[in-house]
A and B are shown apart, each in its own frame.
Chain A
Amino acid sequence: MNELAPISREQRVENLKGLGCSRKRVEDVRFTQGRGNYVDDLKLPGMLYGDFVRSPYAHARVKSVDKSAALAVPGVVAVLTAEDLAPLNLHWMPTLAGDKQMVLADGKVLFQGQEVAFVVANDRYVAADAAELVVIDYEELPVVVDPFKALEPGAPVLREDLDGQTTGAHGDRRHHNHIFLWEAGDKAATDEVISSAEVVAEEMVYYHRTHPCPLETCGCVASMDAVNGKLTVHGTFQAPHVVRTVASLLSGIEEHKIRVVSPDIGGGFGNKVGVYPGYVCAIVASIVTGKPVKWIEDRMENLTATAFARDYWMKGRIAATKDGRITALSCHVTADHGAFDACADPTKFPAGFFSIMTGSYDIPVAHVGVDGVYTNKAPGGVAYRCSFRVTEAAYFIERMIEVLAIELGMDAAELRRINFIRKEQFPYQSALGWEYDSGDYHTAWDKALTAIDYQGLRREQADRVEAFRRGETRKLLGIGLTHFTEIVGAGPVKNCDILGMGMFDSCEIRIHPTGSAVARLGTISQGQGHATTFAQILASEIGLPADSITVEEGDTDTAPYGLGTYGSRSTPVAGAATAMAGRKIRAKAQMIAAYLLEVHDGDLEWDVDRFVVKGAPERFKTMKDIAYASYNQAIPGVEPGLEAVSYYDPPNMTYPFGAYICVMEVDVDTGVCDVRQFYALDDCGTRINPMVIEGQVHGGLTEALAIAMGQEIAYDEIGNVKTATLMDFFLPTAWETPHYTTDFTETPSPHHPIGAKGVGESPNVGGVPAFSNAVHDAFRAFGLRQSHMPHDHWRVWKIAHDLGLHG
């Protein structure tokens, strides 16, 4: 073969491994060989270890703390309590939601597992032993774990620090345990339509409290260099720049003297967005001792003390005409926020984007009110693999649709179809104020129903019910339908910020002389595969192979400022910044190419990896040639080098959607549910890497399975966490994970530079209602309307029992 033969255009495209290529994940080489570098792998000279003494009580006064026995243990360096932090004004800290939170118990504890003292020792084991020796005198107080009881007139006062404060960060507080009432939509108009509607379905839909479960728990290593006054914090942070800013504001250390590094992160799912007492204590301990201090929580601490998710009691009313046209939707949420409002939401959205609750449907009028409530439970309220409160919203509307279908005696697939927002209605203004950028729901829905032979399944289901009634089987068949619409990619700086920081994101690119590149972003991968997929975006933009592009994130000393990775925002925002920075590179490259080819830049056109003189295809300069030239040619009017940076403020959110269908076998006698088939169609706009998408969908569906079928943070009536270990907290293994069939349609976002919408969270958002609806649907023929998750064996058994199916 002639080695010099020019390669074909297709071959050049293929060599780039750009958009649409199922490029293997570059991260996996080190992860699968045990060569990842996680926070707990970090060992600094002289490093000390911190461990918490935590409250066994959910509500108690702390009368005294005796640290003497702990301090006497050889190797113990310090024992910090609120008293020690108070002079620094660090015994409390602000939360992301405009509330404040105790760093260490200040006079009382408000939830089981709350941090009371921080023991610092030269050995992790010594710290644990000494923590046992800290003697705390508690006086127990009455406990409230039920948000409805918390709002009763005589309920115990949880937050004594807020005594007399009748307004909070989000408006009026009408009770001592009330945090805020947040509303959207037109209440009067909604009530009016509902009161005169032909059909109204009303239901309480509870989305139980659960918790993200990343394989790696939260932790950090804080290291104060007393000589140059620089604080370095390595930690499991989903938003390292925000942590830097918060650390600077809290400590008074100037921001350029703080470096925050997120190394490899073993999953986040929202758990690693917030700022936790462990970080503050490790930083203070490092400043006080002059040594690096490591704090890593264990699994039980993670499940009981760092941020939970969900816990929304959603009271819904949905109105329709007799033939199934939805005319109004209303929802009132009682939101259990635990002891402190530490929700991780954009500042102006105390209930996140819950107002996406009209879902995929063209609902003319709607109203939502969310009451935030304090209880004696752990703080949090993070978006567990979803954009802010979007999973709650999707679950709510997808349950309400099913309940309405029952009320109308209609097929639930058909009810959805007649109410979908139609393709030609996009961009669509929702009744609750969002502008849906794009969608084609009918096409996706029909594709999904055909793929699983929906009519055939319904016939089989009807036969099964008959067989059951004749006593020939004890298993029922459930068909769980979901059509979800998300709102992700927060977000436009005009209305989205975190602690005042606009939610833009960034990318900075440097092309090296020999035609390879480094791109640095303000986001941080926790398993999403950014190093793989962002290089692909760039490869298609600048014509250098993805394999020649290094993507770096997570070090605030080198990466441009960004708001981090959560809420499916990386691709919609940082991915857009990457494309835009790439386009700046290309614009400069065009000028250089024009100089080299001695033509006007307008005479050039871009072709995969090169600029070509129009009409003279043999005259071209590849990006590799141009990169070299940018470093060794004196080009009039053009600066040397080839670099670009882009800070991208998205004009709108993106609205990924999907159609999921779950077919479930339900054993009426044991409550055991087996997923027979699961079909997931996702439309995430432009597909950057189909293999990575499939991996994200599989992972997210498995989390959804866990949440719907068993995973919860449950408390007893005195506030003890009943599910603090993986024995009781359901984390599926390969064994429990069903087979998934994935599919797609592709409706690009009109406002995103490459049309991508984000996909990482879709399967959790859409999966939960699909699994839950399947359980409900199995019992529809026997009169079930609503039953709360998680659908573990005994709760499913109880449905059957209450319906009289056990004879």
Chain B
Amino acid sequence: MIPAAFEYHRPTDLAAALATLGEFGDEARVVAGGHSLIPMMKLRMAEIGHVVDLQDIADLKGIRIDGTAVWIGAMTTQHELIGHQGLAAAAPILRETALQIADPQVRYVGTIGGNVANGDPGNDMPALMQCLDATFTLAGPNGSREVAARDFYEGAYVTLREDDEILTGIRFEATGGGQAYEKQKRKIGDYATAAAAAILKKDGTSCSAASIAMTNLSDMPVWSKAAGDALVGTACAAADIDAAVAAALGDISPNADNRGPVEFKRHVAGIIIRRAIEQAWARA
């Protein structure tokens, strides 16, 4: 469990970090909390000549809430997300999700930026970002651009981020609603067998808006428009939820792994999606 040799860079501002990425091209990689990247390096599955550590770049840190507008710096740790009162009020699902990621030690250093940029289908934050309809800000040699979380992922470890771009922050509108993140895993520190995020808004007795997204049930996060559509305008009765679950299951294609075969995962996915919807509706 010893990585190959690498050069370590520790820039103090974004421009310097981008310059280093530009200089070394695809030999360079940024490291945030290192809790996805370093294990890969130790397994020698990722050989990286130049590691660019982002932790001294103050601009990448912090949580700002302005009315319903929420901005989270890429280098904000999961631990900081959990501890932030304003965030818990604006979007309680963030804390609920972050608490289901790994264990306290990992959360002290693992960042939200690393979690969403990594592109691992097992990461929990990407589906949540899709559920919240968040937008990612990417800084590159030619300035910044914004990409919707729902467009960002293309496959396992493949995203729209270019090698020379750095994710600087995440923003989304906190529009309330009943929120729930349900996750089945084998143990603390495991990725999801199946997980689902649901945000439902209630108008009187009927559902006025619904957003459903899922983790580790395809080779990228899945936001199921059809599942949400199945609920909007209904009273989220059993048959409506059945329809939403069926729609969500139509959008996933889980892989067999040590957690179990596809048949099992699809079944559990149905249960977990249902629980997320029921929980969110109960909280709406």
Minimal Cβ-Cβ distance residue in B for A298 = B1
A793 touches B267 (CB 8 A): no
Instruction: State which residues 199-237 of A face B: CB under 8 Å.
Output: none
Minimal Cβ-Cβ distance residue in B for A125 = B2
25 contacts between A and B (CB under 8 A): A124-B2, A125-B5, A128-B2, A129-B4, A129-B5, A298-B1, A669-B268, A669-B271, A670-B184, A670-B268, A670-B272, A671-B268, A710-B187, A714-B258, A722-B258, A727-B191, A728-B258, A730-B187, A792-B186, A794-B261, A797-B260, A797-B264, A797-B267, A797-B268, A806-B267
Looking at the complex, which of A435-443, A628-636, A681-689, A732-740 is the stretch in contact with chain B? Answer: A732-740
Question: Is there a chain B Cβ closer than 8 Å to A798's Cβ?
Answer: yes
CA distance A129 to B5 in the complex (A): 8
CA distance A722 to B260 in the complex (A): 12
Which of B189, B191, B259, B271 makes the CB contact (< 8 A) with A794?
B259
Question: Is there a chain B Cβ closer than 8 Å to A406's Cβ?
Answer: no
Minimal Cβ-Cβ distance residue in A for B271 = A669
B188 touches A793 (CB 8 A): no
Q: Taking the nearest CB of chain B, how far is it from the CB of A680, in angstroms?
A: 22
A733 touches B258 (CB 8 A): no
CA distance A806 to B267 in the complex (A): 9
Enumerate chain B residues within 8 angstroms of A128, measured Cβ to Cβ: 2
Give the number of residues in A that approach B within 8 Å (Cβ atoms).
31
A794 touches B260 (CB 8 A): yes
Question: Is there a chain B Cβ closer than 8 Å to A413's Cβ?
Answer: no
CA distance A728 to B193 in the complex (A): 12
Instruction: State which residues 753-795 of A face B: CB under 8 Å.
Output: 792-794
CA distance A346 to B188 in the complex (A): 39
Question: Is there a chain B Cβ closer than 8 Å to A672's Cβ?
Answer: yes
Given contacts A793-B184, A793-B260, 18 further A-B contacts (CB under 8 A): A129-B5, A132-B4, A298-B1, A299-B1, A300-B1, A669-B267, A669-B271, A670-B272, A710-B186, A723-B258, A726-B189, A727-B190, A733-B103, A792-B186, A793-B264, A793-B268, A797-B264, A801-B267
CA distance A561 to B191 in the complex (A): 49
B187 touches A732 (CB 8 A): yes
CA distance A299 to B1 in the complex (A): 8
Enumerate chain A residues within 8 angstroms of B191, measured Cβ to Cβ: 727
Q: Taking the nearest CB of chain B, how far is it from the CB of A301, in angstroms?
A: 9
Question: Is there a chain A Cβ closer than 8 Å to B283's Cβ?
Answer: no
Question: Is there a chain A Cβ closer than 8 Å to B44's Cβ?
Answer: yes
CA distance A486 to B49 in the complex (A): 55
Known contacts A669-B267, A722-B258; A733/B5 CB under 8 A: no
Q: Taking the nearest CB of chain B, how far is it from the CB of A792, in angstroms?
A: 6
CA distance A298 to B5 in the complex (A): 18
Give the number of residues in B that approach A within 8 Å (Cβ atoms).
23
Minimal Cβ-Cβ distance residue in B for A736 = B187
CA distance A732 to B189 in the complex (A): 10
Q: Taking the nearest CB of chain A, how far is it from the CB of B38, in angstroms?
A: 14
Minimal Cβ-Cβ distance residue in B for A124 = B2
B188 touches A735 (CB 8 A): yes
CA distance A672 to B258 in the complex (A): 15
Q: Taking the nearest CB of chain A, how far is it from the CB of B34, in angstroms?
A: 17
CA distance A727 to B184 in the complex (A): 15
Q: Taking the nearest CB of chain B, how far is it from the CB of A563, in angstroms?
A: 33
Enumerate chain B residues within 8 angstroms of A124, measured Cβ to Cβ: 2
Instruction: State which residues 238-284 of B face A: CB under 8 Å.
Output: 258-261, 264, 267-268, 271-272
Minimal Cβ-Cβ distance residue in A for B122 = A727
Enumerate chain B residues within 8 angstroms of A726, measured Cβ to Cβ: 189
A798 touches B271 (CB 8 A): no
Enumerate chain B residues within 8 angstroms of A735, measured Cβ to Cβ: 103, 187-188
A727 touches B189 (CB 8 A): yes
Instruction: State which residues 89-131 of A face B: CB under 8 Å.
Output: 124-125, 128-129
Instruction: State which residues 117-150 of A face B: CB under 8 Å.
Output: 124-125, 128-129, 132
Enumerate chain A residues within 8 angstroms of B2, measured Cβ to Cβ: 124-125, 128-129
Enumerate chain B residues within 8 angstroms of A732, measured Cβ to Cβ: 187
Q: Which of B44, B187, B193 is packed against the most chain A CB atoms within 10 Å?
A: B187
Enumerate chain A residues within 8 angstroms of B184, measured Cβ to Cβ: 670, 672, 793
Nearest 10 pairs of A and B residues by beta carbon: A794-B260, A128-B2, A298-B1, A735-B188, A794-B264, A728-B258, A669-B271, A733-B188, A670-B268, A736-B187
Minimal Cβ-Cβ distance residue in B for A731 = B187
Q: Taking the nearest CB of chain B, how far is it from the CB of A10, in angstroms?
A: 46
CA distance A107 to B191 in the complex (A): 41
B186 touches A730 (CB 8 A): yes
CA distance A129 to B260 in the complex (A): 35
CA distance A316 to B184 in the complex (A): 36
Q: Taking the nearest CB of chain A, how far is it from the CB of B150, in angstroms?
A: 28
CA distance A38 to B272 in the complex (A): 45
Give per-residue flags for A181-200: 1 if the beta carbon is below 8 A from chain B beta carbons, else 0.
Answer: 00000000000000000000
CA distance A300 to B103 in the complex (A): 21
Enumerate chain B residues within 8 angstroms of A671, measured Cβ to Cβ: 264, 268
A733 touches B189 (CB 8 A): yes
Instruction: State which residues 655-685 of A face B: CB under 8 Å.
Output: 669-672
Enumerate chain A residues within 8 angstroms of B44, measured Cβ to Cβ: 132
Q: Taking the nearest CB of chain A, how far is it from the CB of B153, in angstroms?
A: 22
CA distance A228 to B98 in the complex (A): 60
Q: Which of B1, B5, B191 is packed against the most chain A CB atoms within 10 Å?
A: B1
CA distance A779 to B2 in the complex (A): 46
CA distance A298 to B2 in the complex (A): 9
Enumerate chain A residues within 8 angstroms of B188, measured Cβ to Cβ: 733, 735-736
Minimal Cβ-Cβ distance residue in B for A806 = B267
Give per-residue flags for B48-60: 1 if the beta carbon is below 8 A from chain A beta carbons, else 0.
Answer: 0000000000000
B264 touches A798 (CB 8 A): yes
CA distance A669 to B182 in the complex (A): 15
Q: Taking the nearest CB of chain B, how far is it from the CB of A704, in angstroms?
A: 16
Q: Taking the nearest CB of chain B, how far is it from the CB of A673, in angstroms?
A: 11
Enumerate chain B residues within 8 angstroms of A728, measured Cβ to Cβ: 258
Q: Which of B2, B5, B271 is packed against the most chain A CB atoms within 10 Å?
A: B2
Known contacts A125-B2, A670-B268, A806-B267; A793/B259 CB under 8 A: yes
